[in-house]
Amino acid sequence: MRTAPTTTESPIHFWSPPDLPGLEFDPFLSRMLHEEPVSRIRLPNGAGHAWLVTRHADVRLVSADPRFSRRAVLGRDVTRVAPHFIPMDGATAFADPPDHTRMRRVVAGAFTARSMRRLRDRAQQVLDGLLDEMERHGSPADLVAHVARPFPQAMVSELMGVPARDRESMAHWTDGILSAAAGRTASERAKAALADRFAALIGAARRAPAARLPHQVPADGDARREQLVDVLADGVEAGTIGFDEAVGLAVLIQIGGTHAVRNNSANMVYALLTHPHQLARLRAEPALVPRAVDELLRYIPHRNAVGLARIALEDVEVGGVTIPAGDAVYVSYLSANRDPEVFADPERLDLDRDDAASHLAFAHGPHYCPGATLARLESEVLLATLWDRFPGLRLAVPEDELRWQRGVLIRGPEELPVRW
């Protein structure tokens, strides 16, 4: 007989993510990390309870161990923050190896080293153009509207091969999907609209494979073949992935590539503007940029509460607690990034720390962010360029007058008014 005594002993904490200002860390998450590192929670939507795993070592275990399944989440009304689920049913987020491995291998075709070199050059061009426009607009200006929003939007469209005319509506739908407050119907509608658009783009790429034959392509032909919409269409043609899987993949990469990077970039600039000694350190030593990006990724609480659960397929001991088969489990990459077992003085933003690269901001295991290289290069180009162009850059309003998005899954400022 299976016994799991901790199940009946541990309390169930109701966790409704607060709308926190700035980069304030969720006090509930801190308390769990330090006092009850494997706990039970109930979130505002869905049914029942789930486990919350907060320590770095335990988060790594749960996110890489095949005894915890994403596939098994499908069809279950798991307790969660938003009324809806973010990914499409056919997306990688809901797949386990070996299916997951097969799908991810197709995506890797758009993230080759050559493709990333091309995108780094393109990122610099795009950003320089946006900063020119911001300069023409004049001080003060909103850094979210001028840079943090359009920059990743342009880059993910480059990666994907999304036509310029579709970019704004895609960004708009993406925001709708990642709102917990918009309501289920509005979010599901946004998700369906985005999926329809990608289905059309992938369908068109399937019907036009001849355009990608070497003797017909223009000079940028090689680059075009690496665009994700084409890579996915080729994967569908070859029978490696299903059409719905291809659409699910495109939707997730669009969401991460626009919404997540917009907010994280704005948060990075905000963090540096409000830590002047750290900013001075970065400006004195530009070679520090890649390490600074890691430390900012570690330090910034990217999201409210937790994302997508996994289901324990058998009883598993995690941090001395037995999680029973069938229970839902959430990991917190945010709390893992503040674990004092791994990070010295974890609450301190310190660009010189040598342990920042152990952060889990891009997750861990098979679901590790497929866009991490692109996200990282965008942040590197941004932090290496912004203060060269605007050496006097500073907040245009007192810090406590900044407005932070409410009822969202991914945290960030509404606007970031700056002067120079």
Pick between residue 255 and residue 351 the one whose CB is nearest to ligand FLV: 255
Closest approach of Cβ 349 to ligand FLV, in Å? 20
Closest approach of Cβ 3 to ligand FLV, in Å? 32
What mask of x and - would describe binding to ligand FLV in positions 96 to 115, judged by CB under 6 A? --------------------
**H or E stretch covering 104:** helix 99-108
- Nearest alpha-carbon partner for 191 in 205, 219, 172: 172
Closest approach of Cβ 255 to ligand FLV, in Å? 4
* Near ligand FLV by CB under 6 A: residue from 64, 308, 313, 325: 308
Tokens 């912004």 — which residue?
Answer: 386
| Residue 141 touches ligand FLV, criterion: CB under 6 A | no
Residues between 379 and 418 that touch ligand FLV (CB under 6 A) = 409-410
DSSP structural state of residue 26: P
C-alpha to C-alpha distance for 35 and 210, rounded to whole angstroms: 61
The CA-based diameter of the chain, rounded to the nearest angstrom, is 72
What mask of x and - would describe binding to ligand FLV in positions 168 to 207, judged by CB under 6 A? ----------x-----------------------------
| Residue nearest ligand FLV, CB atom distance | 307
Closest approach of Cβ 367 to ligand FLV, in Å? 6
| 235: its two tokens | 């994967």
- Nearest alpha-carbon partner for 227 in 248, 198, 255, 256: 198
* Near ligand FLV by CB under 6 A: residue from 29, 41, 73, 93: 93
* Near ligand FLV by CB under 6 A: residue from 303, 338, 353, 359: 303
Q: Which residues, 6 or more positions from 61, have their beta carbon under 8 angstroms from its beta carbon?
A: 318
Beta bridge partners of 318: 321
Tokens 């994302």 — which residue?
Answer: 307
| Residue 260 touches ligand FLV, criterion: CB under 6 A | yes
Give all strands of the β-sheet with 417-419 in edge-to-edge order.
141-142, 417-419, 394-395
* Near ligand FLV by CB under 6 A: residue from 33, 72, 81, 329: 81
C-alpha to C-alpha distance for 348 and 261, rounded to whole angstroms: 22
Tokens 């077992």 — which residue?
Answer: 341
**Is the Cβ–Cβ distance between 361 and 84 less than 8 Å?**
no
| Residue 62 touches ligand FLV, criterion: CB under 6 A | no
Pick between residue 257 and residue 417 the one whose CB is nearest to ligand FLV: 257
| Residue 250 touches ligand FLV, criterion: CB under 6 A | no
| Residue 255 touches ligand FLV, criterion: CB under 6 A | yes
| 49: its two tokens | 């309870």
Q: How many residues at the interface with ligand FLV, by CB under 6 A?
A: 15
| Residue 256 touches ligand FLV, criterion: CB under 6 A | yes
Helix, strand, or coil (residue 288): helix
* Near ligand FLV by CB under 6 A: residue from 29, 43, 72, 86: 86
C-alpha to C-alpha distance for 164 and 161, rounded to whole angstroms: 9
Residues at the site binding ligand FLV, with contacts judged by CB under 6 A: 81-82, 86-87, 93, 178, 252, 255-256, 260, 303, 307-308, 409-410
